[in-house]
Structure 1
Amino acid sequence: MVGFLIAVLSGVLMSVQGIFNTQVTKASSIWSANVFVQATALLSCLAVWLAADRSNLFAVFRSEPKYLLLGGVLGAGITWTVIKAMAMLGPARAVLFIVVAQIAAAYLVELFGLFGVEKAAWEWRKAIGLAVAAVGIAVFQWK
């Protein structure tokens, strides 16, 4: 239950962050907004680390394979794509596409056991759920 609540909170925070970031680009550029977002994220994480964790900050460099350390690069790409999608489609439509794409990508990662994730067996139930989500996108597009 706690995991469910954290996931819901994550979705809400991501949506609101995307809206905030899109609005910030109206006063600046998408890249200056992205730099600001990443810098404030770094400072926030450092503050929480100082207050609550204090484990070896550089232990992350022991991660294998090393490409796993590219999460920050992906974060910059995520920020840019969310801002662009929200500006072009509006928050609700953009988040709909983003969430369905996340579900599809996560399912494929599980199916093929990519990036060190335990491989999952094919399940029709999950494939049908993904198809229903795709139909939901189509329904959402009708005017």
Structure 2
Amino acid sequence: MIGFLIALLSGALMSVQGVFNTQVTKTAGMWVSNGWVQLSAFTVCAVLWLFTGRDSIAAIGKVEPKYMLLGGVIGAGITWTVIKSMAALGPAKAALLIVIAQLIVAYLIELFGLFGVEKAMFEWRKVGGLALALIGIAIFQWER
């Protein structure tokens, strides 16, 4: 249950963050805005690290495979794509497309067992759920 609630909170925070970042970009520009997002996130993480577990920073060097360390680079790309899509489509349409893309890619990662994730069995009901989500997008975007 806690995972479900945290996932809902994550989705809500991502939507609010996308709107905030899009507004900041209008004044400060894309890369200043994106840099601020990453710098402020780093600052929060550093402060929380000081007051909590104090995991070893050197452990980063032991991560294998090394490409797993590209999460921050991907994060900068996520911030850029969210800002651009929200500016072009509006928050609701952008979030809807972002979420369906997340679902499709996450299911493919599970199906093929990519990036160290345990391989999942193909299930038609999950494909049906994705198809239903795509139909939902079409309905949501349909304008009279």
Shorter-chain TM-score range: over 0.9
CA distance in 2, matches of 1:127, 1:102: 14
Q: Report the Cα offset of residue 16 of structure 1.
A: 0.4
Which string of whole-angstrom CA distances, capped at 9 and with x for unpartnered residues, describes residues 72-129 of structure 1? 0000000000000000000000000000000000000000000000000000111100
1:97 aligns to 2:100 (yes or no): no
Give the aligned partner of residue 63 of structure 1: 63
Alignment of 1:102-117 (within 5 A): 102-117=102-117
Give the aligned partner of residue 77 of structure 1: 77
CA distance in 2, matches of 1:45, 1:124: 40
Matching residue's letter, 1:56: S
CA distance in 2, matches of 1:109, 1:4: 20
Q: Report the Cα offset of residue 58 of structure 1.
A: 2.2
Alignment of 1:43-54 (within 5 A): 43-54=43-54
Gap runs ≥5 in structure 1: none
Q: Report the Cα offset of residue 57 of structure 1.
A: 1.6
CA distance in 2, matches of 1:6, 1:78: 20
TM-score normalized by structure 1?
0.98
Which string of whole-angstrom CA distances, capped at 9 and with x for unpartnered residues, describes residues 20-76 of structure 1? 000001111111100000000100111111111211022122111000000000000
CA distance in 2, matches of 1:12, 1:116: 28
Partner-residue secondary structure (3-state), 1:84: helix
Give the aligned partner of residue 11 of structure 2: 11
Identical counterparts, % of pairs: 64
CA distance in 2, matches of 1:14, 1:132: 23
TM-score normalized by structure 2?
0.98
CA-based RMSD: 0.6
CA distance in 2, matches of 1:126, 1:60: 35
Matching residue's letter, 1:134: L
CA distance in 1, matches of 2:128, 2:112: 18
**Where in structure 1 do 4 or more consecutive aligned residues deviate above 3 Å?**
none
**Matched residue pairs, number?**
143
Give the aligned partner of residue 41 of structure 2: 41
Partner-residue secondary structure (3-state), 2:28: coil
